[in-house]
């Protein structure tokens, strides 16, 4: 992992807005573009990128920079890390294996990974795959132990689960809801057993190759790179202070996140994936119904309910959207659309904190972007 402080002079580039709007044809989105511009000029984000697929065509808008050292503007084709949107890909692969009768949502973790989930109130016999995918397992979230993730150079999935097993379970399986990255590490391990191939290969075979998503993949091994073109990723490492040092963390070992949040993509690929998923091109009807059966969330994102790797999000005005958000150091992303996938929007920031504009974090920026698009006349 390469963590470099950015030069103070580079930080002055943040308020500079650069627009790359629409390919010829699609209707203009002045309200969306205005939010992007304010996110940089007032919100202090280095750069922001949005892509929209709608019946009128594709639209792209950017503001700010991809690289604070050079001033290179964000581009519509930028690659970036998508964090927990990885979970939507993993859940989709799992459900496709269910469709092939390779696994069942009612199978237990103990059936597939014997002896791994045990101790401290954890019971692999009581945790089903469904409970992994909708975060009702009660399994401790290993990323809540940051100290354990700063010791080793790389982490195997089994080691991540072992970190979680060193803590008490949050609740008995099925008795609550809590977002836990451990759930999706376990899901990825089950996919590898049931599908008899590495998770990265199964994501490619089930999703990215059939849909022709050339910029989307799960890194393998300790690959720290991003393909060109890409934005630099800037993080304050959770330091909320006004004078926090901002670090360039673009080259990053993502083995601590794997099936929970390590994938790379682009806004165009995310839009195409989400449109296909919502539009019924990836799963049969009965499994789409399973995926979009939601449970209430707690102490998480306002207005959300959680399904199997997807969320429903109700905007302040009452509009309901479907998709997922993801955050990883220096890169925050939302991908949401109408229930039928007719209109989808993906948006990414290459910084993970806001410093003004009335926004507490990039999620608030994303909410304003979605509101500008999905509640317009």
Query: Looking at the annotation, which residues are catalytic?
Result: 84
Strands (E) across the chain are located at: 4-5, 47-54, 57-64, 80-81, 118-119, 122-123, 234-235, 247-248, 264-265, 295-296, 304-306, 311-314, 320-328, 331-337, 344-349
Distance, in Å, from the CA atom of 86 to the CA atom of 89, rounded to the nearest integer, reads: 5
* Both tokens assigned to 358: 């009335």
**Residues pairing with 345 in the sheet:** 52, 336
Give me the sheet containing 295-296, strands edge to edge.
Answer: 57-64, 47-54, 344-349, 331-337, 320-328, 311-314, 304-306, 295-296
Region of 237 (left: φ > 0; alpha: ψ -120 to 50; beta: rest) is left
- Side-chain half-sphere CA neighbours of 56 within 13 A: 12
Q: Who contacts 163 (Cβ-Cβ below 8 Å, separation ≥6)?
A: 142, 145, 148, 149
Residue 368, both tokens: 């304003």
Cα 133 to Cα 297: distance, rounded to the nearest angstrom: 13
Helices (H) and strands (E) in the chain, counts: 12, 15
Contacting residues for 141 by C-beta, under 8 A, at least 6 apart: 164, 170, 178, 179, 180, 181, 182
CA 294 – CA 304 distance, rounded (Å):
9
Cα–Cα distance measured from residue 207 to residue 216, given in angstroms and rounded to the nearest whole number: 10
């Amino acid at each position: 992992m390469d963590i470099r402080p950015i030069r103070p002079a580079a930080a002055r580039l943040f308020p500079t807005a650069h627009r790359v709007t629409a390919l010829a044809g699609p209707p203009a989105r002045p309200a969306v573009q205005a939010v992007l511009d304010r996110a940089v000029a007032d919100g202090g984000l280095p750069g922001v990128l949005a892509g929209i697929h709608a019946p009128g065509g594709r639209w792209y808008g950017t503001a700010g920079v991809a690289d604070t050292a050079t001033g290179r503007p964000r581009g519509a084709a930028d690659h970036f890390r998508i964090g927990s949107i990885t979970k939507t890909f993993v859940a989709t692969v799992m459900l496709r294996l269910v469709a092939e009768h390779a696994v069942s949502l009612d199978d237990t973790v103990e059936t597939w990974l014997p002896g791994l989930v045990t101790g401290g109130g954890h019971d692999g016999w009581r945790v089903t795959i469904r409970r992994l995918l909708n975060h009702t397992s009660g399994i401790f979230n290993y990323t809540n132990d940051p100290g354990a993730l700063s010791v080793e150079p790389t982490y195997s999935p089994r080691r991540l689960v072992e970190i979680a097993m060193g803590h008490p379970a949050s609740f008995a399986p099925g008795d609550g809801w809590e977002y836990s990255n451990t759930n999706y590490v376990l899901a990825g391990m089950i996919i590898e057993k049931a599908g008899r191939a590495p998770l990265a290969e199964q994501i490619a075979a089930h999703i990215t190759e059939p849909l022709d998503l050339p910029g989307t993949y799960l890194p393998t091994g300790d690959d720290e790179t991003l393909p060109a073109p890409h934005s630099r990723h800037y993080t304050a490492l959770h330091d909320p202070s006004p004078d926090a040092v901002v670090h360039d963390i673009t080259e990053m070992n993502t083995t601590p996140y794997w099936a929970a949040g390590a994938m790379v993509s682009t806004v165009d690929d995310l839009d195409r994936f989400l449109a296909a998923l919502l539009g019924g091109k990836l799963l049969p009807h009965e499994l789409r119904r399973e995926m979009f059966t939601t449970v209430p969330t707690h102490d998480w994102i306002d207005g959300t309910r959680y399904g199997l790797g997807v969320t429903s999000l109700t905007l302040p005005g009452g509009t309901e959207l479907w998709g997922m958000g993801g955050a990883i150091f220096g890169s925050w992303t939302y991908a949401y659309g109408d229930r039928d996938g007719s209109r989808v929007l993906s948006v990414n920031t290459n910084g993970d904190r806001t410093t003004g504009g009335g926004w507490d974090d990039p999620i608030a920026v994303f909410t304003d972007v979605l509101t500008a698009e999905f509640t317009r006349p």
